[in-house]
Structure 1
């Protein structure tokens, strides 16, 4: 959304919309909280929008709030967010009025209890009664992309305070061969532009000793998925994940075809 793209109405009322054809974003992983340097970009304090002045939180560590969430999609896709990043409606991001940028929050849909973790990199929503604007992907994961708004709880996640994720089954056991005829990959990103996918492929190629490919299915041309593989057994999966973790890439998931 960005401060330059704000309006008195939320994105949905401005006839914002999602992709031209249905896109399943259930495979898009949550944002992974990590320590990031907070720059002046996106953190002007105080700032004024539509005649109202907002002050950033002095201490966000105990932040938890319930209210209405909305989402923004194609209308803002490709525009600059408040900290200068490019908004990608397929990424797990959000806009918030007073949290520092970047921040990480867990958002729970209070009607169906679905949860996502998103990275706050934008300002908004500047519409009365709304506490957070989510990306299209996050809204779809929470089950309200077809409705525009939902009742949610937003809770801050402080990087380092979360317990380490448990080992996945394939990482906690001896090598187990993957059944013949089944192609197994580790996906390390889904991007709305081929250029962004190419950059990720080149970056990851220097980290692992396995092929890195871009998968762009004809039925979903809006998404370009960067995958490592095929991998032949669970030891290779664990090895690649460890290589990626050493390079600060935590958002991976297994894809089988």
Structure 2
């Protein structure tokens, strides 16, 4: 769940939700176990301000209604750094709730997320924007990561299916459930010839001295790189590299715990 959303004047990044809606606001269609989709009897209205096109770090995102959204990709999670802060919908981030952030789905909405490593499935309330990181399709709250068995890995491959509007009361209530088997994943892309490199960007500075001071405080795997942006030099503090995304994500979480609120994971460098 990744201060970034403040850039677009929506809210602090986070993927949050209030714990547990009133039980009367939710129900399931049919009987005999969890159905393919829940029935929300009292849907919350879409927060209109969250459906406008917005730009983050030079890239445009265009939220829209996506009733057939069904994607496979990488998920990450976050917790303490954003706990209690407002999300894009104005709800407060509860890191123990079952919630998530997505870049373009309607807010607030419900998604079904399946951990393709173990088949565990959970229904989550989407009420924030993000993650603005390469190769990520969703950011999970800590509670959602625990539900899906991803708390140790940091990142994992998931299937995300949009279910429709979220309940007005907040949270997901009785919608939480798990399946013994995961839905069939989409074919994975062919492996690249050389392993990907993963880095964590822990800041960008206009002053080299400030960048060097920041790098020295973050450990021996940190260095300063110079990039030319809009005709001027920018000094980026980079941590890494790692050969796998999980190790890099743990480093990103560690940098955030040390106060680097906008730490980014970058792949394919």
Secondary structure in structure 2 of the residue aligned to 1:42: helix
Q: What is the CA–CA distance in structure 1 between the aligned matches of 2:165 and 2:138, rounded to whole Å?
A: 20
Note if 1:70 corresponds to 2:72: no
In structure 2, the partner of 1:116 is 122
State TM-score, norm by structure 1.
0.51
Higher percent of residues as strand: 2
1:252/1:65 Cα in 2 relative to 1: closer, same or farther (>3 Å)?
closer
Runs of 4+ in 1 over 4 A off after TM superposition: 247-250
1:65/1:72 Cα in 2 relative to 1: closer, same or farther (>3 Å)?
same
Structural mapping, 1:94-243, within 5 Å: 94-158=100-164
CA contact (8 A) 2:44 2:165 kept: no
In structure 2, the partner of 1:251 is 173
- Which 5+ residue runs of structure 2 have no aligned equivalent? 27-37, 176-269
1:149/1:61 Cα in 2 relative to 1: closer, same or farther (>3 Å)?
same
How many residue pairs match? The answer is: 147
- Which 5+ residue runs of structure 1 have no aligned equivalent? 17-26, 161-246
1:250/1:102 Cα in 2 relative to 1: closer, same or farther (>3 Å)?
closer
Note if 1:38 corresponds to 2:40: no
Secondary structure in structure 1 of the residue aligned to 2:145: helix
Please report how far the alpha carbon of residue 82 of structure 1 lies from its aligned counterpart in structure 2 after TM superposition: 1.1
Please report how far the alpha carbon of residue 79 of structure 1 lies from its aligned counterpart in structure 2 after TM superposition: 1.1
Q: What is the CA–CA distance in structure 2 between the aligned matches of 1:135 and 1:150, rounded to whole Å?
A: 14
Please report how far the alpha carbon of residue 41 of structure 1 lies from its aligned counterpart in structure 2 after TM superposition: 3.7
RMSD: 3.4
State TM-score, norm by structure 2.
0.48
Q: What is the CA–CA distance in structure 2 between the aligned matches of 1:88 and 1:37, rounded to whole Å?
A: 21
1:137/1:5 Cα in 2 relative to 1: closer, same or farther (>3 Å)?
farther
CA-to-partner distance for each residue in 1:112-147, whole Å, 9 max, x for gaps?
A: 000000010000000000000010000011111111
